[in-house]
């Protein structure tokens, strides 16, 4: 990892400052310590990394995995919380999202997401836990399968978008999901080139129950107004993992938001139930897709703290 004084940063951006104030004013969640911003050269990309350093001796590394409607900086409150427990938290902007610079001629490819997270896990120090939100949940499982030294996986959802019904249900409108599946199969050359604003492709208003935060998601240039080519969603749906099952060599904690209107708990259960080995499901009280509402947020933090504290150092 390295610093880059010429690269864009989140630190003083209007979007980050607005998000931080909304969290504090609307939810009482304060980001007290700004993460350090680093860059990682990976497969020709310049991956942006938020790094939250603990104030006390490091107990391990938590890699935070965003979903297909956000970026690493959205997870700053979780990074701050992990650092307060003595864990170093790393939150990358995965290729195609946030302020990561993709390589010239990059063809949108979801398979790089679990590969990137797995490489970050391999290079981390101490026990390593992966935590994914939204699509990041299943991404974290796939990454853990590629990097067996991972000590644990935490997910807020486990939506497998390779499943046709799940893909349709996760789209902003069901008809859009059906049209997308048809186009992927019969017109892939056209669908791949289609520029899709995230606010059109995904129901971003369901990220939260708060109208102010919902409008921020819709209008933010790096989120709602972010243009993602259709090929990314096709590669996400058609992703074929190295392992066909969801077997893990570490424990799994699913902390599902209880009022998630985008991906209800029932959508995560098929994947959760197919994971063999030690696992635990906690459905949070209240809590939308990004569970910052009370009391979901405090319950989420308590579950994370208990899980991390249960792992051997």
Per-residue confidence at 69, pLDDT binned at 50, 70, 90?
confident
Arithmetic mean of pLDDT, 247-269: 95
pLDDT of res. 238: 84
What is the phi-psi region of residue 189: left when phi exceeds 0, alpha when psi lies from -120 to 50, beta otherwise?
alpha
pLDDT of res. 309: 94
User: Where in the chain are the domains?
Assistant: 14-310
Rg (the chain; Cα; Å): 18
Q: Distance (Å, rounded) from C-alpha 18 to C-alpha 169?
A: 30
pLDDT of res. 158: 95
Compute the Cα dihedral for 109, 113, 114, 115 and give only its sign: positive
Tokens of 266: 């029932």
Q: Which residues of 232-254 are buried (b: 16+ CB within 10 A; e: fewer)?
A: bbbbbbebeeeeeebebebbbbb
- pLDDT for residue 127 is more than 90: yes
pLDDT per residue as tens digits for the range 273-283: 999 999 999 99
- CA-nearest of 153, 160, 6 to 68 is 160
State what percent of residues in the chain have pLDDT above 90.
71
Arithmetic mean of pLDDT, 54-63: 93
| Average per-residue pLDDT for the chain | 90
pLDDT per residue as tens digits for the range 169-202: 665 556 566 666 656 675 666 677 788 888 877 7
Higher-confidence residue: 69 or 222? 222
Residue 60 β-bridge partners: 87
DSSP 162-179: TSHHHHHHHSSSHHHHHH
- CA-nearest of 221, 227, 301 to 10 is 221
Q: Name the CATH superfamily, with its identifier, for domain 14-310.
A: Alpha/Beta hydrolase fold, catalytic domain (3.40.50.1820)
pLDDT of res. 176: 60
pLDDT of res. 235: 87
pLDDT of res. 66: 97
């Amino acid at each position: 990892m390295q610093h880059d004084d010429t690269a864009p940063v989140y630190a003083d951006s209007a979007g980050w400052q607005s998000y931080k104030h909304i969290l504090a004013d609307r939810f009482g969640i304060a980001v007290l310590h700004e993460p350090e911003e680093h860059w990682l050269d990976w497969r020709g990309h310049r991956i942006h990394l938020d790094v939250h350093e603990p104030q006390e001796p490091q107990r391990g590394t938590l890699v935070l995995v965003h979903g297909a409607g956000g970026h690493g900086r959205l997870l700053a409150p979780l990074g701050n919380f992990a650092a307060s427990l003595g864990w170093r938290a790393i939150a990358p902007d995965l290729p195609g999202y946030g302020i990561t610079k993709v390589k010239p001629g990059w063809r949108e490819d979801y398979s790089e997401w679990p590969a990137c997270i797995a490489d970050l896990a391999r290079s981390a120090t101490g026990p390593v836990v992966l935590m994914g939100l939204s699509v990041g949940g299943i991404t974290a499982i796939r990454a853990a399968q590629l990097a067996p030294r991972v000590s644990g996986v935490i997910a807020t959802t486990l939506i497998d978008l390779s499943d046709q019904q799940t893909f349709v249900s996760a789209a902003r409108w069901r008809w859009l999901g059906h049209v997308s599946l048809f186009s992927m199969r019969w017109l892939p050359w056209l669908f791949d080139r289609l520029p899709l604003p995230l606010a059109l492709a995904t129901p971003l208003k369901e990220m939260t129950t708060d109208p102010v935060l919902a409008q921020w998601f819709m209008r933010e240039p790096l989120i709602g107004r972010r243009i993602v080519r259709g090929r990314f969603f096709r590669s996400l749906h058609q992703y074929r993992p190295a392992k066909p099952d969801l077997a893990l060599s570490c424990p799994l904690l699913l902390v599902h938001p209880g009022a998630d209107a985008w991906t209800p708990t029932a959508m995560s259960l098929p994947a959760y139930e197919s994971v063999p080995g030690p696992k635990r499901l906690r459905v949070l009280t209240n809590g939308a897709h990004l569970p910052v509402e009370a009391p979901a947020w405090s319950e989420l933090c308590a579950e994370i703290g208990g899980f991390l504290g249960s792992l051997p150092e």
